[in-house]
Amino acid sequence: MLFIFLFQSFYLLHLFFYSFFHLFFHCFFHFFLTLLPPRFHITRPRFRSSTAFDWNRVSITFFW
């Protein structure tokens, strides 16, 4: 019974983390966290770069 319980739990975790459901909510929360005011964003420190990529526009969001 313990083996069956563990197998079911790992299988359900696998179904969640490898589903489009998880992918949708991942993108959903990333999108809405970027709509927060800039004081809630953790941004990369400013530096001069020769590339066209603007690192100052990048916001890193953490959610567990």
24-48 pLDDT tens trace: 888 888 888 777 766 666 666 665 5
> d(Cα 34, Cα 13) in Å, to the nearest integer?
27
- Mean per-residue pLDDT over the chain, rounded: 69
Full-model pTM: 0.31
Asked whether residue 61 carries a pLDDT value surpassing 80, the answer given is no
| Phi/psi at 49 (5° precision) | -130, 145
Task: For the beta carbon of residue 61, count every other beta carbon within 10 angstroms.
Answer: 14
Per the structure block, which two tokens stand in for 39? 């004081």
